[in-house]
A and B are shown apart, each in its own frame.
Chain A
Amino acid sequence: MDVSQYLDIFIDETSEHIQALSDNIMVLENEPENKDTINEIFRAAHSLKGMAGTMGFKRMQHLTHDMENVFSEVRNDNIKVNSEMIDLLFNCLDAIEAYLETVKSTSDEGTEDNEVLIKKLNAYLDGGNDEAPAQAEEAKEEAPKEEAPAEASSGSEDPNGKDHFKVLKIDENDISKIREAQESGLIIYGMTVHIQKECLLKAARAFLVFKALEDFGEILHYDPASQDIEDEKFDLAFSCIMSSNSSDVEAIKAAVSAVSEVEAVDLDKVTAEMYEKPVEEAPKEEPKVEEKAPAVASAKPTAKADAKATTPAAKKAANKPVTARTVRVDIEKLDALMNQVSELIIAKNSIVSISASEASGADYDSQSLQEQIEYLERITTNLHESVMKVRMVPIESTVNKFPRMIRDLSRKLNKPMELVMTGEETELDRTVVDQIGDPLQHLLRNSADHGIESPEVRKAAGKPEEGSIFLNAFQEGNNVIIQVGDDGGGIDTERVLQKAIERGIVSEEEAETLSQKEIIDFLFMPSFSMAKQITDISGRGVGLDVVKSNIEALGGDVEVKSTLGQGSTFTVRLPLTLAIIQALMVEIRDEKYAIALGSIMNIEDISINDIKYVEAKEVIHLRGLVIPIIRLDQLLDCEPREEEPENLTVVVVKKGDSYAGLVVDNLMGQQEIVIKSLGKVIENNKLISGATILGDGEVALIIDVNTLI
């Protein structure tokens, strides 16, 4: 059966099952007696095994099979769950994930057997007397281990590959037949016959092929075995070795090709020696592990084949990733899209008919045109919304690997801690979700490593011994907020300051005037590490600055709040979507700029007499808030005005808890804008986050409020 078309589904579902397993194993660790969880795990493991088997990924199937056995024993109360076992299971999951990665990039499961894991799993199964079987297992598994490198170098393991007949694994019996035929002066041919993909009766075609071949001589060896070929147990190609007294290669080829639905025939002369040597090398291999031996055999013959410049097609294809990035879309969302597109077509037709009636001299009905345009507008807005929804995915897919990570860290660092997550269902643009994983992971690691204190310290401070790390996600206006924090020691600003002075970032005098926030901001500077010692978890100084720049690249920002002794919270703010935003259009002299509506708090008309000065900077005092004034015209190097107007229009923007008042000349109104990049040559512009094209074709720049505050 050709399973390549199911590969995408397989990959998707396997990741889901792995995630389900991981989640449930976490639960199991805390509630070892929870029958529901065990059943859930068992089901997931079983589905994994089934799918791997269907796809022909034998190693993966083998591993999952043994995992399933362990779960089954757990379910039957024959084994007790303990933390070593949980560790082992997690290692197995990692191994399965590694298989999956290999499958993703090469559409093959790779060659890692993971005997060690399988051995350990079996040791659990055998309970107390696990010594002997483990050793037996070892002996059995030794052979494949040695062969692994040879396998790695071979790309033509695929029976569909070109010239597969050169790498066949042939048993002694058939080899001696071949040798005999050779000695009696007959010519030995090897061939691989490729059947068209659409072919329905493959076995019948194979039969016809063999019938055609019998006119030329005797078939000495079939691959797969003749019984399997009859039962259609082969993919799109099969191979055979035959002896013939005819030296007319083309005639044989033509006869085989004449069978309908045969796509191609690879035919060449072979000798018994080609198959002899490798087989002798691997006799200790158990015959049931079929796919290994041909691979070993292929090491030399493929080199030969390459020299003949017949690059195996399979090898070539294996290098590029076989799956594309996909979004799973709720069918309802797609239906909505489809409906809107049909409405769009109707609207277009109406407009076409209006323009046609105009052309034919009929009364020009400007009202109905107006109606149609409004209709069109409504449809495009809805369409945009629907497309955006299709792109939105819950952050769950990214954050659900974190509990496992914290668990591992907890064991590694010997600090009991727990991760509490809320709002995993919060939706974000797919691109953002994909890229937010690393920064979040980093923040969590930080919390685990630096934030949470050791149990002794926590006890002394009157806190529960188990540290608590949280990740909260929720939507706020046009933003999604993700908070990551802990109830640990918090940031010791004194120490940060000390370090900053040590490193010459600030002088001691300057240091005294710094606010807490400014001190904490040092942590976001490149290569500013606070760790007393470098661990493999964190402390190399490539940390928060990378987090910050990654998040800023996504159009978001990150803030820290910390109380010494009570923990710290990192607040990551991300835009809901990247492509289209609601914006306020403003004018500064004759230039047009857009300010994202999401960051605007309100708009004020202010007399210049209301402007006060604090530290020689302009501020306004507004309903109890002191808001610094930013003159956009100066900042953006616009022509200075000849005379200062009496009143200023100030757009008050906010970022977290900070505010700023942007002075503009004119307000033009609200508009939905499509964000475009400035082009690679000038895109690192800090003040401007992008550009947009207005209705009249003019270009307006989008002001990046986050960098202003």
Chain B
Amino acid sequence: MANELDMTEEEKIQYIVVKIGSEQYGINISLVDNIVRMQKITRVPKAPSYYPGIINLRGEIVPVMSARNKMGLGEDVITNQSRIIILKLELQGLVGILVDEVKEVISLGESEIDRSAQNSKKQGNTYINGIGKSGDELISIFEINSIVDEVAVS
């Protein structure tokens, strides 16, 4: 019985829900290597403003980027809730993303994600590829590749 039920349900993808400013964003959990607490970020001179610097993640150097800065939403405000989401990407290797808060993990099926909002692509870059609906909450699904896209050159 249980098996049958699973079969009929559509495939769901798990997302980590994070808060940046007043909005909630979802990051596909398969890309996430780790979530670490805020730690000292070493500034890298001449790096683009959305790369505040690098951190030491258990002996590895990991560049950290500010999604907020990249999306043009102002400067990061570091609080006790701030976390660095460590993504493991095929092309760029490990990259950290600064977020204000990590909320929960949710599962969303394709039917719960509204893709239409992005199809218009009115104003230049979009960093999300859909809006997920979980209860009353709206969660923007990050298009990771467009956030961590270009290899920054100073």
Contact = CB atoms under 8 A, between A and B. Distances in A.
Contact of A693 (B56, B91, B148): B56
Interface stretch (A153-161, A640-648, A676-684): A676-684
Q: Which residue, of A636, A687, A699, has the highest number of chain B Cβ atoms within 10 A?
A: A699
A501 B33 CA distance: 54
A682 B44 contact: yes
Interface string B34-70: 0000001011111110010011100111110100000
Contacts of A679: 54, 61-63, 92-95
A677 B44 contact: no
Contact of B154 (A638, A686, A701): A686
A167 interface: no
Size bracket of the B interface: 20 to 34
Interface in A673-701: 676-688, 691, 693, 697-701
Contact of B51 (A635, A682, A688, A693): A682
Nearest to B45: A636
A591 interface: yes
Interface residues of A, number: 25
A637 B48 CA distance: 12
B153 A678 contact: no
A697 to B, nearest CB: 6
A99 to B, nearest CB: 37
A684 B153 contact: yes
The CB with the most chain A CB atoms within 10 A, among B40, B46, B95, is that of: B46
B154 A691 contact: no
A677 B61 contact: yes
B117 interface: no
Contacts of B2: none
Given A681-B148, A685-B47, A699-B61, A691 B42 contact: yes
Given A681-B95, A682-B63, A699 B42 contact: yes
B152 interface: yes
Contacts, number: 82
Given A591-B43, A685-B45, A693-B61, 10 more contacts: A637-B45, A637-B46, A638-B45, A682-B47, A686-B154, A687-B45, A687-B46, A691-B54, A697-B56, A700-B42
A684 B95 CA distance: 16
A699 B151 contact: no
Nearest to A675: B61
A650 to B, nearest CB: 19
Contact of B56 (A680, A686, A699): A699
Interface centre among B45, B60, B63 (most CB of A within 10 A): B45
| Interface-central residue, A635, A636, A693, by most chain B CB under 10 Å | A693
Contacts of B54: 678-679, 682, 691, 699
Contacts of A681: 51, 63, 65, 92, 95, 148, 151-152
Nearest to B64: A679
Contact of A591 (B42, B55, B93, B151): B42
User: SS class of chain B's interface: helix, strand, loop or mixed?
Assistant: loop
A679 B93 CA distance: 7
B28 to A, nearest CB: 19
Contacts of A685: 44-47, 154
Contacts of A682: 44, 47-48, 51, 54, 63, 151-152, 154
A677 B54 CA distance: 11
Nearest to B59: A693
Contacts of A687: 45-46, 154
10 contacts: A591-B42, A591-B43, A636-B45, A679-B62, A680-B91, A684-B154, A685-B44, A685-B46, A693-B56, A699-B56
Contacts of B45: 635-638, 685, 687-688, 701
B152 to A, nearest CB: 5
Contacts of A699: 40, 42, 54-56, 61
A676 B44 CA distance: 14
B39 to A, nearest CB: 9
Nearest to B149: A681
Contact of B42 (A680, A684, A686, A698): A698
Contacts of A636: 45-46
Contacts of B63: 678-679, 681-682
Contacts of A638: 45
A701 B46 contact: no
Given A591-B43, A691-B42, A684 B152 contact: yes
Contacts of A698: 40, 42, 56
B95 to A, nearest CB: 6
B41 to A, nearest CB: 9
Interface pairs A-B: 6 shortest CB-CB: A679-B63, A636-B45, A699-B42, A676-B61, A684-B153, A691-B61
A684 B51 CA distance: 13
Nearest to B55: A699
A552 B152 CA distance: 19
B96 to A, nearest CB: 9
Contacts of A693: 56, 59, 61
Contacts of B48: 682
Contacts of B92: 679-681
A192 B143 CA distance: 54
B64 to A, nearest CB: 9
A685 B42 CA distance: 15
A641 B45 CA distance: 17
Contacts of B46: 636-637, 685-688
A680 B154 contact: no
Interface-central residue, A591, A678, A679, A700, by most chain B CB under 10 Å = A679
Contacts of B56: 693, 697-699
Which residue of B47, B55, B148 has the most chain A CB atoms within 10 A of its CB atom? B47
A591 B53 CA distance: 12
A678 B151 contact: no
Contact of A678 (B61, B65, B91): B61
A691 to B, nearest CB: 5
B60 A676 contact: yes
A635 B45 CA distance: 8
A592 to B, nearest CB: 8
Contacts of B95: 679, 681
A636 B54 CA distance: 15
A656 B45 CA distance: 26
B23 to A, nearest CB: 24
B47 to A, nearest CB: 5
Contacts of B40: 698-699
Interface in A620-635: 635
Contacts of A701: 42, 44-45
Interface in A441-496: none
B109 to A, nearest CB: 32
Nearest to B53: A699
B107 to A, nearest CB: 30
A44 B47 CA distance: 56
A680 B148 CA distance: 11
Contacts of B51: 681-682
Contacts of A700: 42
A590 to B, nearest CB: 10
Given A591-B42, A699-B56, A700-B42, A680 B151 contact: yes
A687 B93 CA distance: 22
Interface string B60-94: 11110100000000000000000000000001111
B49 to A, nearest CB: 11
A681 B97 CA distance: 12
A681 B92 CA distance: 6
